[in-house]
Structure 1
Amino acid sequence: MSIDASANIHPSAVVEDGAVIGPDCRVGPFCVVGEDVTLARGVVLKSHAVVTGWTEIGEGTVIFPFANIGDVPQDLKYAGEKTRLIVGARNRIREGVTMNTGTAGGGGVTRVGDDGLFMAGAHVAHDVRIGNRVILVNNASIAGHCVIDDDVIVGGLSGVHQWVRIGRGAIIGAVTMVTNDVIPYGLVQGPRGGLDGLNLVGLKRRGVDRADITALRAAFQALAQGEGAFQDRARRLAESEEGGSPYVREIVDFVLGDTDRSYLTPG
């Protein structure tokens, strides 16, 4: 066990031998910190939080009561192999959130980026890769092996099917089931989510240039109404005037990239 002298550990907390507690950490009442856990500088565990497994928590992350971070995967194929969860810096992990370690078949690591907000009851399953500044609203669930890129918002009570990719800047409405890949900056909503447009509000909030937004809107129309298969339209889009926008190029690269699933396409 390694506990920095500046860390504050409540007497009722359980810190197992082997845990590493960094400078300025605070571990509240009735918390449990497992033997293979590393807490970086300034991590705060509020009362009754559990951090277990082979888990690293990045600097300044705050974990709220009754969250369970780093427990074993909810996967019947998991056979007890030692796998990891790596959580980045400055995340806010609210009450009742669950994040699982990886599986051997999925690469062995679940990764969460920096500056995320994981609201009450959200779930991050095994082998998921989550980027920076991602928001999972209350009770949103991300199934195994998904890739959630930077700046994505997943609405409350929504579910993302295993192996799905959600591109940067996309937004998923509340109470939506996402079963296929979502293009960058896409807007998805409905009980069985359909691609209904672009996340224009998010683009404007991030200060994206008007010319790029105009190019994105034209690109979306070309993907929605062009001839041929969805990927054929994306290839033509790469050669179009709109294809000069880096945002449009990101969508094209996403659509033409490797995936195990099909795509949500415009209605």
Structure 2
Amino acid sequence: MALIHPSAIVDPKAQLDSSVEVGAFSIIGPHVRIGARSVIGPHVVIEGHTTIGEDNKFFQFSSIGAAPQDKKWAGEATRLEVGDRNTVREFCTFNTGTVQDAGVTRLGNDNWISAYVHLAHDCQVGSNTIFSNNAQLAGHVVVGDWAILSGYAGVHQFCKIGEHAFVGMYTSLTQDVPPFVLVSGNPAGARGVNIEGIKRRGFTRPQIDAIRTAYKTVYRSGLTLEEAKAALAGQAASEELDADGAAHVRAFCDFLETASRGIVR
């Protein structure tokens, strides 16, 4: 039997692993599935068609799997999927998706989600990200692995944030952020490469140099965006780069090809 506090309300149809803990006054809906060793703190509401993986920790007063804040939503059975080993702090709100998109909001693995974070409908968040207090995603936002959002960062709907990017405190983001780029301000501006972040990830000096060169090509060379894309393609094919360095440059180039709202530049 799951370790359920007597004051908690768990629908009989909910599927909880026997090792799940549910705190006082929490509410678990009928279409919820929760994996092994996950801990649901007190006063947490988990509803909707929500699947939560293993070893997650939800602190008190969060609302998980509620209906999307979208006037087009008409009661469709859309979903929220949360991976493994995520920490979700107090007062977070994660909504399910909409049929106008993939129908699912996703949070990957090993993410650190601080208090008052909002993941709106259809957001796709990768793994190993950090969201500081009050970081807010509007609908349809995509966040790559290892990205960091500082406190009170606000992201416009349909924006994309690349892997290893860094969004500074109080930043108002209305355009896409390429991988490895540090942005801040209101409106957001590019401030350089997220050097500290990629050093902590174990990137080598040649890899960092390749990323810096790619950044300068896009942001400091005076080239148009189309010219910069062509230059990046040439850099990625350079025999001077090792396989990892070339892959990082290609990731930068590929992101530019798919940026839908233009990039912070």
Which deviates further from its counterpart, 106-115 or 243-252?
243-252
Separation in 1 of the partners of 2:131 and 2:223?
Answer: 35
**Pairing 1:228-243 to 2, within 5 Å after superposition:** 228-240=223-235, 241=238
Q: Does the Cα contact within 8 Å between 1:231 and 1:255 map onto a contact in 2?
A: no
Would you say 1:121 and 2:116 are equivalent positions? yes
1:18 maps to which residue? 13
Q: Does the Cα contact within 8 Å between 1:10 and 1:28 map onto a contact in 2?
A: yes
Separation in 1 of the partners of 2:226 and 2:127?
Answer: 28
Alignment RMSD (CA, Å): 1.2
Match of 2:34 among 31, 39, 46: 39
Provide Cα deviations, 1:70-108, integer angstroms capped at 9, x if missing partner. Answer: 000011111111100000001011000000000010111
Once the two structures are TM-superposed, the CA of residue 217 in structure 1 deviates from its matched residue by: 1.1
Q: Which amino acid aligns with 1:65?
A: Q
Once the two structures are TM-superposed, the CA of residue 111 in structure 1 deviates from its matched residue by: 0.6
Separation in 2 of the partners of 1:228 and 1:171?
Answer: 24
Would you say 1:159 and 2:154 are equivalent positions? yes
Q: Which amino acid aligns with 2:256?
A: V
TM-score for both structures, normalised by structure 2: 0.95
Once the two structures are TM-superposed, the CA of residue 234 in structure 1 deviates from its matched residue by: 1.7
What SS class does the counterpart of residue 111 from structure 1 fall into?
strand
Q: Which amino acid aligns with 1:249?
A: R
Q: Does the Cα contact within 8 Å between 1:24 and 1:41 map onto a contact in 2?
A: yes
**Pairing 1:22-171 to 2, within 5 Å after superposition:** 22-171=17-166
Separation in 1 of the partners of 2:108 and 2:226?
Answer: 29
1:261 maps to which residue? 261
Once the two structures are TM-superposed, the CA of residue 119 in structure 1 deviates from its matched residue by: 0.4
Which deviates further from its counterpart, 226-235 or 123-132?
226-235
Q: Which amino acid aligns with 2:86?
A: N
Match of 1:210 among 193, 201, 205: 205
2:251 maps to which residue? 250
TM-score for both structures, normalised by structure 1: 0.94
Once the two structures are TM-superposed, the CA of residue 246 in structure 1 deviates from its matched residue by: 1.6
Q: What are structure 1's unaligned runs of at least 5 residues? A: none
Identity among equivalent positions (%) equals: 41
Provide Cα deviations, 1:188-232, integer angstroms capped at 9, x if missing partner. Answer: 011211111110000100110100111111121111233442132
Separation in 2 of the partners of 1:55 and 1:264?
Answer: 34
Q: Does the Cα contact within 8 Å between 1:115 and 1:133 map onto a contact in 2?
A: yes
2:194 maps to which residue? 199
Provide Cα deviations, 1:34-73, integer angstroms capped at 9, x if missing partner. Answer: 0100011111011101111100111010101000000000
Q: Which amino acid aligns with 1:221?
A: K
Q: Which amino acid aligns with 1:213?
A: I
What SS class does the counterpart of residue 239 from structure 1 fall into?
helix
Once the two structures are TM-superposed, the CA of residue 158 in structure 1 deviates from its matched residue by: 0.7
Q: Does the Cα contact within 8 Å between 1:169 and 1:199 map onto a contact in 2?
A: yes
Q: Does the Cα contact within 8 Å between 1:231 and 1:256 map onto a contact in 2?
A: no
What SS class does the counterpart of residue 105 from structure 2 fall into?
strand
What SS class does the counterpart of residue 256 from structure 1 fall into?
helix
Once the two structures are TM-superposed, the CA of residue 145 in structure 1 deviates from its matched residue by: 0.5
